[in-house]
């Protein structure tokens, strides 16, 4: 009768310290890059919204001035 050899089920597995450290560093780089991208996006949106509001106000002032000239 032939018997199978006992296979290691991985329960004795331990992670390598270097591998864990490399993984953590990679995750930190990604998190840092994501945070920087969010910050840049927020700044761009704020700039866009300010310019949009300024143009809206300028258009409104122009329409109001034109209306005053017509009624005066």
**61: pLDDT confidence band, cut at 50, 70 and 90?**
very high
Check residue 11 and give its pLDDT.
Answer: 63
What confidence tier does 31 reach under pLDDT thresholds 50, 70, 90?
very high
pTM strictly above 0.75: no
- Per-residue pLDDT, 46: 98
CA separation for the pair 11, 8 (Å, rounded) = 8
Question: What is the rounded average pLDDT for all residues in the chain?
Answer: 88
Distance CA 41, CA 35 (A): 10
**Which DSSP symbol is given to 11?**
T
Mean pLDDT for 23-45 is: 97
Residue 20, Ramachandran bin (φ over 0: left; ψ between -120 and 50: alpha; else beta): alpha
Is the pLDDT at 10 greater than 60? The verdict is no
Task: Give domain limits for the chain.
Answer: 20-72
């Amino acid at each position: 009768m032939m018997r199978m050899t006992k296979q290691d089920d991985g329960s004795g597995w331990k992670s390598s310290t270097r591998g864990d450290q490399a993984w953590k560093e990679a995750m930190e780089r990604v998190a840092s890059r994501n945070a920087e991208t969010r910050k840049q996006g927020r700044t761009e949106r704020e700039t866009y919204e300010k310019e949009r509001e300024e143009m809206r106000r300028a258009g409104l002032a122009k329409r109001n001035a034109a209306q005053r000239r017509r009624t005066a």
